[in-house]
Amino acid sequence: MRVDKSTFKIRAGPSGLFFFNRATGLNILFDEIDVPATSWALAPRQVSIALTNACDLACSYCYAPKTRASLSFDNVTSWLEDLDASGTCGVGFGGGEPTLYPRFAELCAITCRATRLAVTFTTHGHRLGDGLLDALAGNVHFIRVSMDGIGATYERLRHRSFKAFAQQLKAIKAIAQFGINYVVNSETLPDLCAATVFAESVGASEFLLLPEQSVNGEGGIDNNTAQALRAWVARYRGRVPLAVSEKGAEGLPTCNPFRSETGLRAYAHVDAHGILKRTSYTNEGIAIGANGIMSAFEQLQHQTNTRS
């Protein structure tokens, strides 16, 4: 079989050979191929990077740190080159609100041109004016837009116009595929049916369920709401595909073809202070120093293996 390497990124791992086309989102896993451990990719399959902690919203259930922090542009571009060379398939920019990061559009453009990484970012959507959207066009492969509740619920929680939000989604759809990120808690659960109908009407290609996580022992989805969410998922017959965060997937029917690639082989997070972590919810991690992100990853992997 001949494969055009300019079309597919190929990642070797314990699950087999993974072929990924960032332009179309096509994923092909040849799990019948037994790849020797010496050939496995060294970096996580997906890495999220909080470019800044700055955000112009103040959602009460947001887990992002509120300390002021922002990453160096040159550091981020260097890390991305190393991750790309070491087998990472995609980067997800977040925050805070990533569109508040200086040179954000330039960062997406450089990442798209200089690496084979799929470029995604998570945003509340309200800062994506025509100028920024034009600058991002062709340089991002997927956009995740946060929407917790619809109508009055959305406006009460996010203090922004839902009508304006809906208009933004039309503009976003013109430059890239997008999905809806939906934090599930007792306040947003009643809107789930209407939210998925809305997501279909605006052309969302995915609806990502994010059961609210407890941070430092505070907040988090309660047991009754979690049980109701599981029942809702079992009844769901909508057209927009559902996805769920790994952290909140317990008790939900999920399909994971990469069952042999868990933990740091699957995912890692870099916070806005330059700390490499296992997830965005944990406080522990390894500072990325002069030796680069792969050195920090090796240290974090060793630390994780030692504790397990």
pTM exceeds 0.85: yes
Q: Which two tokens stand for residue 246?
A: 């790994």
Percent of the chain, pLDDT > 70? 97
113 and 192 in a single domain? The answer is yes
Is 267 inside any structural domain? yes
Q: What is the pLDDT of residues 1-52, one digit of tens each?
A: 444 556 899 999 999 999 999 999 999 999 999 999 999 999 999 999 999 9
Give residue 33's domain range.
1-40
Taking alpha carbons only, the member of 55, 65, 58 closest to residue 159 is 58
31 and 49 in a single domain? The answer is no
Q: What is the CATH number of the domain that holds 129?
A: 3.20.20.70
Number of domains in the chain: 2
Q: What is the 3-state secondary structure (H, E, C) of the chain?
A: CCCCCCCCEEEEECCEEEEECCCCCCEEEECCCCCCHHHCCCCCCEEEEECECCCCCCCCCCCCCCCCCECCHHHHHHHHHHHHHCCCCEEEEECCCHHHCCCHHHHHHHHHHHCCCEEEEEECCCCCCHHHHHHHCCCCCEEEEECCCCHHHHHHHHCCCHHHHHHHHHHHHCCCCEEEEEEECCCCHHHHHHHHHHHHHCCCCCEEEEECCCECCECCCCHHHHHHHHHHHHHCCCCCCEEECHHHCCCCCCCCCCCCCCHHHCEEEECCCCEEECCCCCCCCEECCCCCHHHHHHHHHHHHHHHC
The residue-averaged pLDDT of 285-289 equals 97
What per-residue confidence (pLDDT) applies to 216?
A: 67
From the CB of residue 12, how many other CB atoms can be counted at a distance below 10 Å? 17
Q: Which pLDDT band, with edges at 50, 70 and 90, does 260 fall under?
A: confident
Is 293 inside any structural domain? no
Rounded Cα distance, 46 and 88, in Å: 6
Sequence-separated (6 or more) residues with CB below 8 Å from residue 77: 107, 110, 111, 114
Q: Which pLDDT band, with edges at 50, 70 and 90, does 245 fall under?
A: confident
- Mean residue pLDDT of the chain comes to 93
The residue-averaged pLDDT of 251-260 equals 83
Is 162 inside any structural domain? yes
142 and 8 in a single domain? The answer is no
What per-residue confidence (pLDDT) applies to 3?
A: 47
Q: What is the pLDDT of residues 170-220, one digit of tens each?
A: 999 999 999 999 999 999 999 999 999 999 999 999 999 999 987 766 778
The yes-or-no verdict on residue 235 having pLDDT over 80 is yes
224 and 246 in a single domain? The answer is yes
The residue-averaged pLDDT of 52-69 equals 86
Is 108 inside any structural domain? yes
153 and 129 in a single domain? The answer is yes
72 and 1 in a single domain? The answer is no
